[in-house]
Structure 1
Amino acid sequence: MASELRETIFMVKQERHKNLFLNYKNLNHFPAELLKDEGLQFLERLYMKRNSLTTLPDNLAQKLPNLIELYLHSNNIVIIPGTIGNLARLQSLDLSSNALQLLCPEVGRLRSLRHLRLSNNQLKSLPPEIGDLQFLETLDVSMNQLASLPNRLHRCSSLQHLSADHNLLSHVPRHLCRLARLTQLSMAANRLTFLPLDLGGSRELQFVFVDNNLDLKGLPSYLYNKVFGCSGCGVSLQGGDAGQQGQDEALSEALLGLPAEVKAVASEADNVVPLEELAMRTLHRLYHQQHRHPTDANFPPPIPLPKSLLDLLQFPLGHCHRCTQAMFTVIYPKLFPLRHTALAGVHRRTTVSFVAYCCSSHCLRRFDLQS
C-alpha cells in the first residue's frame, strides 16, 4: 500500500495533476510525500475520505497553497491547526464525520470559503469568527452538541443553506432573519421552544424544517406559504379539538421563549402601546433614516446612544406581520391553529399553530393569514 501511495503521488507530481484522490487508503498520518521540497503548488483538490487521520500538518498551507477543495470526510480528526487559515484560495472544506471537539477561530480567515461541512462531530460551540466568512454559501453543523449558534453568523451575507439538525439548540438567533440570501434553514430534532418573529419574512427563504422539536408550539405566520416541516412538534391533543383553552395554552407555549418584558402581552382592548415602545419605534426609524441618508442636511446628527441600545435599534424583536412596523417590547399575537388551515392534512403529527405578531390592536383585528 505504501509503494502504491508513493507511485500515485509521484505520478501526480510528474504530470502536474490538479486533483488527487487518496480515499480509502487506510492512512494514519498525512503523507509526507505531499509535503517534501516545495510540495504540490499546483494541486487544487485533495480528497482523503475514510482514512484514519487525527490531525493536519502545520505547514499544509505552505506546501499546498492553491487548494480549492479539501475533502476529509470520515476520519478521526480531533483538531485542525490554526495555520489552516492560510489557505487563501480554499472554497470547500469538508470535515464531516470526524472527532472534532473544537473549531479553531482561524477558520474565519478562509475568506474565499463557500462551503463548510462539519456534521457528525462533537462540537459544543462554534467560533464567532465564522461570521467573517462573507462568501460562505453552505454551512452544515448537523449532529453535534451545539447549544447555540454564533450571534455574528448574520454577517455571512452570502449564506444560502444552513443545516443544524440534531443539536441542543433552544432558540434560533433572530439576527439570522437578516440573512437576505438564505433559502433553506433546517433545525430538526433540537430543543426549540420558539422561532424568531421575523423568520420567513424574506422572500428568498422558501424551505424551513423544524421537525421533532417537541416543545415548539408556534410558527411565525410568515411561514404560511413556505415549504416547511413541523411533524413531531408540540404535544399531541387528546380527544380531538381542544377548544379555546387548548388555543390559549398553545399561544402561551408559543411565547415561552420571548424576552420577559414581552410576555406581558397587551390585550385586544388596549388601543395604546406604552410610551417606551413608541419612543423605541421612533428612534428606530430615525436611526435607519440617518444611515440611509448620512449626508442629508434634513436629518439631525447621529444620536449619542449607548452601544447596547444601538444594537437593540438595529435588531428589533420583530416587525408587524401586517404593516411591518418594528416592535421592541410589546407585541399583539393572533393564533391560527394548524387544524384550521389548508395545511392541516399535511402535518398530522403536530399541534403547532401559526402565530401572527402585530404592533397594535388595530393591525391585530385587520390581519388575515391568507391576505
Structure 2
Amino acid sequence: MASELCKTISVARLEKHKNLFLNYRNLHHFPLELLKDEGLQYLERLYMKRNSLTTLPENLAQKLPNLVELYLHSNNIVVVPEAIGSLVKLQCLDLSDNALEIVCPEIGRLRALRHLRLANNQLQFLPPEVGDLKELQTLDISTNRLLTLPERLHLCLSLQYLTVDRNRLWYVPRHLCQLPSLNELSMAGNRLAFLPLGISMLFSTVAIPFYIPTNSVLDLGRSRELQYVYVDNNIHLKGLPSYLYNKVIGCSGCGAPIQVSEVKLLSFSSGQLTVFLPAEVKAIGTENDHVLPLQELAMRSLYHTYHSFLKDLNFLSPISLPRSLLELLHCPLGHCHRCSEPMFTIVYPKLFPLRETPMAGLHQGRTAISFVAYCCSTQCLQTFDLLS
C-alpha cells in the first residue's frame, strides 16, 4: 500500500496533476511524499476523505502553495493548526466529521475562502476571525456544541448559506440580520425559545455590542435575499414572528410535549433494539378515522427508540434496516408544526390565508401571502394555529 501511494504521488508530481485523490487509504499521518523536495507546486485539489489523520503539517502551504480545495472529511483531526492560514489561495475547506475541538484564529487569513464545512465535530466556539472571511458563501457548523455564534459573523458580506443545526443555541444572534447576502438560515435542532421580534424590542431590552447604522434592517423577515429559515425541532419555540410567514419552511416546536407511545403487545427486534409499535395500530377498524399507515407508525416509533438508544449508550447501535429506510430514519421529511413529531411518509397540510402585512409587499410585489403548516395527525391539525 505504501509503495502504491508513493507511486501515485510521484506520478502526480511528474505529470503536474492538478487533482489528487487519496481517499480511503487508511492514512494515519500526512504522506511524507507529498512534502518531499518542492512538494506538488501544481496541485489545486487534494482529496483525503475517510482516513485516520490526526493533524496537518506546518509546511503545508509551502509544499502545496496553489491549493484551492482541501477535502479532509471523516478523519480524526482535533485542532485546525495555525499553518492553515498560509493557504492563501484556498477556496474550499471541508473538515466535517472529525474530532475538532479548536479552530485557530489564523483561519481568518483565508481571504479567498468561499466554502467552509465544519459539521459533526466537538466545537464549543468559533474564533471571531471568521468574520474576516469576506468571500465566504457557505458555512456549515451543524452538529457541534456551540452555545453562540461569533459577533463578527455579520461581517461575512458574501455569506449565502448558514447551517447551524443540532447545536446548543438558545437564541438567534441579532447580528445575523445584517448579513446582506444570506439566502438560507438553518438552525434546526437547537434550544431556541424565541426569534427576534422587532427593532423596538431590540433597543428596549438588549444591549447592542456593535455599531448598527441608523438605516439598518434589524429583523430576518425584511431581507429580500433571505428566503428560507429552518427552525425545525426546537421544542421550546412558542411561535413565529409574523414577518417570517412568507419565508419559514420547517418551523416546528410549538412547545407541546411529544407523547411517546406506551409499550404494547406488538413489537419487533433489530440487533440490540426491541421496537414497540404505537397503540394507534389497535385503533384500526374502530371509530377513529384517519389512521396512519403502518409504515409511518413503525418509523416514528423506531425513530424515538433509536435516538433514545443512542443517547443512553453514546455510540451508534448495530441497527439493521434496508438502506432506504435507514436513510429515512436519519432524515425525516419534516417535523410537525404542532408537536415536533418527525414525519416520514405522510403529512397533513393546513393552509392559513394571511391578512395584508407590511412585509408581504416585499414578496414578489404581492400584498397578501399565505402560510402552509404541516402536521403529523388530524389531532395536531385541528389544534394548531399561528401565533400573532
2:241 is equivalent to residue 220 of structure 1? yes
Q: Paired residue for 2:374, among 337, 346, 361? A: 346
Q: Alignment partner of 1:62: what SS?
A: helix
1:203 aligns with 2:231: no
Residue 60 of structure 1 aligns with an amino acid whose one-letter code is L
Q: How many angstroms does 1:41 deviate by?
A: 1.0
Q: Distance in 1 between matches of 2:40 and 2:385?
A: 55
Contact 2:91 2:114 in 1 (8 A): yes
- Displacement of 1:126: 0.5
Q: Distance in 2 between matches of 1:108 and 1:130?
A: 5
The 5 Å alignment of 1:19-98 reads 19-98=19-98
For the residues of structure 2 that align with 1:352 and 1:39, how far apart are their CA atoms?
62
- 1:149 to 2:164 alignment: no
Is 1:111 the counterpart of 2:132? The answer is no
Task: Name the CA shift for 1:347/1:150 in 2 (closer, same or farther; >3 Å).
Answer: farther
Q: Distance in 2 between matches of 1:105 and 1:30?
A: 22
- Asked whether 1:230 is paired with 2:251, we answer yes
Structure 1 position 167, deviation (Å)? 0.3
Q: Which has the higher contact order (CA 8 A, sep 6+)?
A: 1
Deviation >6 Å, runs of 4+: none
Tell me how far apart the structure 2 counterparts of residues 347 and 152 of structure 1 sit (CA, whole Å): 37
1:252-276 per-residue CA deviation (whole Å, 9 max, x = no partner) reads xxxxxxxxxxxxxxxxxxxxxxxxx
User: Structure 1 unaligned runs (5+)?
Assistant: 239-320, 324-340, 356-371
Deviations 1:239-289 (A, max 9, x none): xxxxxxxxxxxxxxxxxxxxxxxxxxxxxxxxxxxxxxxxxxxxxxxxxxx
Partner Cα distance (1:105, 1:97) in 2: 20
Q: How many pairs align?
A: 257
In 2 relative to 1, CA 230–219 (structure 1 residues): closer, same or farther, beyond 3 Å? Answer: same
Query: CA separation in 2, counterparts of 1:146 and 1:345?
Result: 29
| C-alpha displacement of 1:200 | 2.0
1:266-281 paired onto structure 2 within 5 Å:
none
TM-score (norm 1): 0.66
Determine what percentage of the aligned residue pairs are the same residue. 68
Distance 1:20 1:155, change over 3 A: same
Alignment check: 8 A CA contact 2:162 2:186 kept: yes
Over 3 Å counting, the alpha-carbon distance change for 1:100 and 1:237 in structure 2 is closer
Distance 1:13 1:352, change over 3 A: farther
Query: Residue 5 of structure 1: SS of its match in structure 2?
Result: helix
Counterpart in the other structure of 1:264: none
Could you say what the CA RMSD is over the residues aligned between the two structures, in angstroms? 2.2
Q: Tell me, yes or no, if the aligned pair for 2:246 and 2:370 is still in contact at 8 Å.
A: no
Task: Give, in angstroms, the shift of residue 233 of structure 1.
Answer: 3.5
2:233 touches 2:252 (CA, 8 Å); kept in 1? Answer: yes
Task: Tell me the equivalent position of 1:314.
Answer: none
Shift of 1:225: 1.2
Query: Structure 2: how far apart are the matches of 1:342 and 1:162?
Result: 25
Q: How far 1:150 moved relative to its partner? A: 0.5
